[in-house]
Amino acid sequence: MLEKITITDVAAEGKALAKVDDLVIFVPYVVPGDVVDLQIKKKKHSYAEAVAVRFHEYSSLRTEPFCEHFGICGGCKWQCLSYEEQIRYKQQQVTDDLRRIGKIAIPEVSPILGSEKTTFYRNKLEFTFSNKRWLTEEEIKQGIKYEQMNAVGFHIPGAFDKILAIEKCWLQSELTNRLRNSIRDFAYKKEYPFFDLRSQEGMLRNMILRTSTTGEVMLIMSCKIVKEEEMELFKELLSFIADEFPEITSLMYVVNNKCNDTITDQEIIVFKGKDHIYEEMEGLRFKIGPKSFYQTNSEQAYNLYKITRDFAGLTRKELVYDLYTGTGTIANFVARQSTRVIGIEYVPEAIQDAKINSEINEITNTLFYAGDMKDILTQEFISEHGRPDVIITDPPRAGMHQDVIHALIFAAPDRIVYVSCNPATQARDIALLDEYYKLTRVQPVDMFPHTHHVENVVLLEKR
């Protein structure tokens, strides 16, 4: 036990930092300025992981967490830190990553664009059904016995088969809470079997809820069906949902008899309504299917795309390449200001959505290609389609493959706009481009309040 230790800083993964002699200690659910007793949980040569077991002093930066599940479910770890301080630390993270990892000269980082909504901001959530309800240490100490050990909620970090029963989540609209709890109560009443991840038995597996700023709602229910009578029971549940929640415009289901919960390779069947919902942005409509990717904070996504377009400096004369285009949201968003936009994406289904989104909006100056980025973006491809004036790239958290970076250097656009959900890998990639491109603008955007995640947009201009 380490007593009366002062928390000094914020660290990676939403944890905070303390130092005792030469030992660096990572602690969750505390903030700089807290004075605490620490219980070491794991110790290595130069660092340790610990939990706070007693508070002697509370930091002036601390706020009261608003969620009853704070500290257990593993999400929204920064609820105990004021939002002003959250975005200050995110801004610092971007600056530090560019300097320490990129090791390049950087311009002044623009003030981070905070999220107007700090609760109920997500447009997509997934909940899991399980027959293994997670009991907290306090519940175990008090000897609380639950007649009902089935639960609907989130996976417990480090316990893949255990589910924390969620009563109220602050991430999505209140409809989510009403819907989840009503489905749970109906399943309890009818004694439906909840899934057991270890034995692979049970009927109810998952539910995914998607909403949009247009007011449309999509619900996807996932189940394991072995017997015909189970399908009858499941459809009874679907009928209940359809009757109780007429606001659902797209009610679908998937029979998933695999060992894992992914549904990307499964057939998704419409029970009632449409097989999609729409999102809108500046008069553009984007079709979102059950497998489509769309930024999960719709309002901030709009701000992110406006910044991207602004950095691109489009004058309706430019050929634009949009790498990792997904469903073509950015490509279609900038098409009206470009001569032509060419989008490239690994997932064929996403490219089909991108083409549909162009058709819906009567956009005729886009082309989309599906395949591995490093295999498509070759010298032959660039020679055939033309050297781009601007490249927009929005890669996954791992950043860009070195072959893609070499292709960017060969393509030699005047400007590269790099959108990233991981400033660390972004900084690494910028360093590889630094000989040819100068970093001129940096704009962080907070897409996920109460988490350590931050989005960052940079402009690179040819030297």
Catalytic residues: 421
d(CA 27, CA 38): 8
174 burial level (CB within 10 Å; 0-12, 13-18, 19+)? exposed
Find all residues with CB under 8 Å of 430, minimum gap 6, and list them.
98, 102, 104, 418, 437, 439, 458, 460
Give the rounded distance of the alpha carbon of 208 from its chain centre: 14
Whether the CB-CB separation of 350 and 293 falls below 8 Å is answered with yes
Task: Please state, as a whole number, how many other Cβ atoms lie within 10 Å of the Cβ of residue 197.
Answer: 20
Q: Give the pair of three-digit tokens for residue 229.
A: 């009578």
Torsion of CA 341, 307, 211, 359, to 10 degrees: -20
Sign of the alpha-carbon dihedral angle for 299, 357, 350, 254: positive
d(CA 23, CA 365): 58
Q: Which own/partner pairs from 184-189 qualify as long-range (CB within 8 Å, at least 24 positions apart)?
A: 184/152, 186/237, 186/240, 187/129, 187/150, 187/152, 187/237, 188/148, 188/150
Q: Which own/partner pairs from 151-155 qualify as long-range (CB within 8 Å, at least 24 positions apart)?
A: 151/194, 152/127, 152/128, 152/180, 152/183, 152/184, 152/187, 152/194, 152/207, 153/73, 153/127, 153/128, 154/73, 154/74, 154/75, 154/127, 154/128, 155/74, 155/128
Give bridge partners of residue 124 from the DSSP assignment: 210
Amino acid at position 34, single letter: D
Sign of the alpha-carbon dihedral angle for 442, 452, 130, 183: negative
d(CA 425, CA 101): 8
3-state helix, strand, coil in the chain (%, to 5): 30, 30, 40
Instruction: Select from 125, 107, 254, 127 the least CA-distant residue to 184.
Output: 127
Put the strands of the sheet holding 455-462 in their side by side order. Answer: 366-370, 340-345, 319-323, 390-393, 415-420, 455-462, 437-445
3-class DSSP assignment, residue 338: coil
